[in-house]
Structure 1
Amino acid sequence: MIRVLFVCLGNICRSPMAEAVMRDLVEKEHLSHKVEVDSAATSSWHIGDPPHRGTQGKLKEYGISTKGMQGRQLQKADFENFDYIIGMDESNIRNIRTMLGNLDSTKIFRFLDLTDHRKDVPDPYYTGDFQETYDLVLEGCHALLEKIKGQYKL
């Protein structure tokens, strides 16, 4: 099983959006038995909370479910349990490395570094632009799934 963890600051906007989009893509490619997806926060602000209503609304527009999703905080065990730990922005990457013990690992990387954008995913909690975030997350998830399929010959 290949395990993917998306991480952002609060785990209510970007990382749950990426989790839901990636799960949807994995299901459509009939790879759910090979790829598992989760998300987490670097902060503890929204532990147990559902995704932000803007994230839920945007995903609903595209027929993507957030059922059962709850915010959780990144844990040291996640480094051992996941093959990919993906931060939505540079600040998330710094926080991930600090929280996990300053590990220098290729399994930790910034999400859009897999795309031509090579930039941070803007946080719609602050920008209000859930469409821009969705578009970037969808592109990033497609790129990540192609990377996984190539790397693991799926």
Structure 2
Amino acid sequence: MVSVLFVCLGNICRSPMAEAVLRHKIAERGLTRQITVDSAGTGNWHIGKAPHEGTRRILDANGISYENMAARIVRSSDFEQFDYIVCMDQSNGANVRKVAGGEEAELLFFMDLLPHEKLREVPDPYFTGNFEQVYELINAGCDVLLERIIHEQVE
């Protein structure tokens, strides 16, 4: 079983959107028994809350479920549990490394999946309000990530 953890600041916008999108793509490919996906935040403001209404709206518009998703914070045990820890921006990565403590966390930055894009971080729609832009980036990046996982991990 391959596992992916998406990380953003509050775990209500970017990372749950990525979790839902990748889960949807995994289900479409019939790989739900081979790949699991979760998301977490580096801040504790929204623990237990559903994704942001902007995230829910864009996922609904694209027929993607976010059922039973609730914000949580990154835990040190995540470094043992997940094969891929994908951070939405450099600040999230720095905070994740602090949680890792002595563990050398291998992180993947989401925009590294899309090297042709000028943006190097996924903009936070909590502040920008541009959920459509974030969805387009996440949708494209999840395609790349899924192909990478299939190539590297799934038999």
Give the TM-score of the pair, scaled to structure 1. Answer: 0.96
Aligned length: 153
TM-superposed CA distance for 1:101, in Å, is 1.2
Give the equivalent residue in structure 1 for 2:124. Answer: 123
**1:87-129 deviations in Å (ceiling 9; x for gaps):** 00011011101111164343x1211101122610000000000
Give the equivalent residue in structure 1 for 2:38. Answer: 38
Moved over 3 A (4+): 102-106
Q: State the distance in 2 between where 1:37 and 1:126 align.
A: 25
Q: State the distance in 1 between where 2:50 and 2:105 align.
A: 30
**1:65-101 deviations in Å (ceiling 9; x for gaps):** 1111000000000000000011000110111011111
Give the equivalent residue in structure 1 for 2:111. Answer: 112
1:31 partner SS = coil
Q: Which runs of 5+ in 2 are unaligned?
A: none
Q: Which runs of 5+ in 1 are unaligned?
A: none
Give the aligned residue type for 1:150: H
Give the equivalent residue in structure 2 for 1:29. Answer: 29
TM-superposed CA distance for 1:57, in Å, is 0.2
The within-5 A match list for 1:50-89 is: 50-89=50-89
Give the equivalent residue in structure 2 for 1:147. Answer: 148
TM-superposed CA distance for 1:153, in Å, is 4.2
2:3 partner SS = strand
Give the TM-score of the pair, scaled to structure 2. Answer: 0.95
Q: State the distance in 2 between where 1:45 and 1:55 align.
A: 17
2:147 partner SS = helix
Q: State the distance in 2 between where 1:109 and 1:92 align.
A: 11
Q: CA RMSD in A?
A: 1.1
Q: State the distance in 1 between where 2:102 and 2:123 align.
A: 24
Give the aligned residue type for 1:84: Y
Q: State the distance in 2 between where 1:11 and 1:105 align.
A: 19
1:39 partner SS = strand
Q: State the distance in 1 between where 2:154 and 2:64 align.
A: 26
Identity of aligned residues (%): 48
